[in-house]
Amino acid sequence: MTQERDNKPRRCDLLVRADAIVTQDGERRVLTDAAVAVTDGLVAEVGDYANLAAAYEPEQTLDLSGKMLLPGLVNGHTHLPMTLQRGLADDLPLMEWLQNHIWPVEAKLNETLLASGAKLGCAELIRTGCTTFLNGYFHEQITGQAVSDCGLRAVLGEGFFAFPSPFFATAEDCWNTVRALDERYRDHPRLRSAVTPHAVYTVEPDQLAESFELAESLDIPWQTHLAESPMETALCLEKHGMRPVEILRSLNLLSPRTTLHHCVDVTDEEIALLADRGVNVVHNPASNLKLCSGLSPVQKLLDAGVNVGLGTDGAASNNQLNMFRDMGLAALVGKVSHGDASAVSAQTALDMATRNSARCLGWPELGRIEAGCPADMCALDLASANLMPMFNPVSHAVYAATGLEVCMTMTAGEVLYLYGDFRTLDMTTLREEATECAKWARCAAGRGKNTK
């Protein structure tokens, strides 16, 4: 509620004006000729431009006339440094892709490469209006450093596999790394951690249970890949005599702390169980389509009451980290998989990429432009040829935008990108690093220097 004011303008750090603001607040208000006042990294107020211009005395102003403002998008599932393997192996099914192309290269990674990979990922997220992501990879303090330096926000998950891994000799080593990561970022304003066992087919049941206890003791989210493809279900049935959801149920790991990535191969009974236990699911349409994993029953999950966020998955299986593309795909594929053109509407897809993903991260105040919430926002340039004319900003964000119309990205009130200028990343150096990374990746994949 707006409080009664005396006539004296209040101070704020920044006043942002835009033609339209898609607030994603509880009522999904879309405001025209509107403004956002920002103070101490938080939204102080959002409303009519004329009212806010009279009420505030800003230190700085940002005039985004001709633009629409959206909450910064929240990527619910990615493996940020996998930009290193973008386009290295395409057109393969999940298991063959993982076992023969991804894991052998990952085994040879070093910290310098991971740092470059993470920075490349940050650049793409910033460029396409994503301000927060839920990660799962190795040496997460390196991604943490990149995120801390470039101004983004993230929940970092140190990945764990049971088979001999180049990263951890034992499960306890991984849990200790998670504890250290949590300790390191406990007071960081933009970084948090999550417990991240890879999947039910790569981690033993007792280790899954142990990892969940760790998440409970640290009071942080617990995330894993689950039911990604019928092949995974077949593996689980062969090894444990149970389907993937049943394995987690038998271990008592289905809870509101749980975020499951994919959930493609789930039955109606399993969907009801996920809803009943308050589990979060992240949908990754581009990755599911590219690896031919199947179509997730997203509308059924939503109808049952499951919180479904949206993610890109890694750049090796997408091959983008562009949430605008995944929003569009979620809406399009959702209609086909549900056999109904009204399924996964534009508003639903935008909710998934903002508010719902934020809940998947255990950070529900993100994904909206609302007083008291972090000032994480992005702007689309409405002068782009593909965005004229505009009848419905939400429709444009989901169906018409490609992500490259993003002209401003801001996290915690700090502008990270404006009109082609990356304010926190040196793109010239990053391009040079990317060239070196490509040479390494070709060698690591056993393709030699001169092979395409």
Site of interaction with Zn ion (CB under 5 A)? 313
What separation in angstroms does the CA of 57 have from each of 51, 62, 63, 88, 92? 12, 13, 15, 52, 57
39 vs 83 by CB, closer to Zn ion: 83
What share of residues in the chain are helix, strand, coil (percent, to 5)? 40, 25, 35
124 marked as part of a ligand binding site = no
Encoded tokens for 190: 């933009």
Torsion of CA 83, 85, 87, 89, to 10 degrees: -150
198 marked as part of a ligand binding site = yes
How far apart are CB 165 and Zn ion at their closest, in Å? 16
Helix pair 111-127, 427-444: axis angle to 10 deg: 130
**Number of helices (H), then strands (E), in the chain:** 17, 16
Spatial distance between the Cα atoms of 4 and 419, rounded to a whole number of angstroms: 37
How far apart are CB 154 and Zn ion at their closest, in Å? 15
- 259 with 197: CB under 8 angstroms? no
Residue closest to Zn ion (Cβ): 313
75 vs 193 by CB, closer to Zn ion: 75
313 marked as part of a ligand binding site = yes
136 vs 297 by CB, closer to Zn ion: 136
The distance from CA 328 to its chain's CA centroid, rounded to whole angstroms, is 15
How far apart are CB 110 and Zn ion at their closest, in Å? 22
Spatial distance between the Cα atoms of 46 and 40, rounded to a whole number of angstroms: 15
- 261 with 340: CB under 8 angstroms? no
414-418 and 406-411 beta bridge pairing: antiparallel
How far apart are CB 157 and Zn ion at their closest, in Å? 10
240 marked as part of a ligand binding site = no
How far apart are CB 79 and Zn ion at their closest, in Å? 6
124 vs 313 by CB, closer to Zn ion: 313
Nearest to 214 by CA among 186, 243, 177, 179: 179
How far apart are CB 31 and Zn ion at their closest, in Å? 36
Spatial distance between the Cα atoms of 228 and 234, rounded to a whole number of angstroms: 11
96 marked as part of a ligand binding site = no
How far apart are CB 181 and Zn ion at their closest, in Å? 19
Nearest to 37 by CA among 59, 11, 69, 15: 15
262 vs 355 by CB, closer to Zn ion: 262
311 vs 362 by CB, closer to Zn ion: 311
69 vs 247 by CB, closer to Zn ion: 247
135 vs 411 by CB, closer to Zn ion: 135
161 vs 417 by CB, closer to Zn ion: 161
Q: What are the strands of the beta sheet with 130-135, ordered from one edge?
A: 73-78, 130-135, 153-160, 191-197, 222-226, 258-262, 280-283, 307-310
130-135 and 42-48 beta bridge pairing: unpaired
313 vs 370 by CB, closer to Zn ion: 313
Encoded tokens for 162: 């049971």
Spatial distance between the Cα atoms of 131 and 272, rounded to a whole number of angstroms: 32
Spatial distance between the Cα atoms of 242 and 142, rounded to a whole number of angstroms: 37
How far apart are CB 309 and Zn ion at their closest, in Å? 13
Burial environment of residue 27 by CB neighbours within 10 A (0 to 12, 13 to 18, 19 or more): exposed
How far apart are CB 271 and Zn ion at their closest, in Å? 21
Encoded tokens for 197: 């066992």
How far apart are CB 298 and Zn ion at their closest, in Å? 17
Annotated binding-site positions: 77, 79, 106, 198, 225, 228, 313
Annotated binding-site positions for substrate: 106, 198, 228, 313
Annotated binding-site positions for Zn(2+): 77, 79, 225, 313
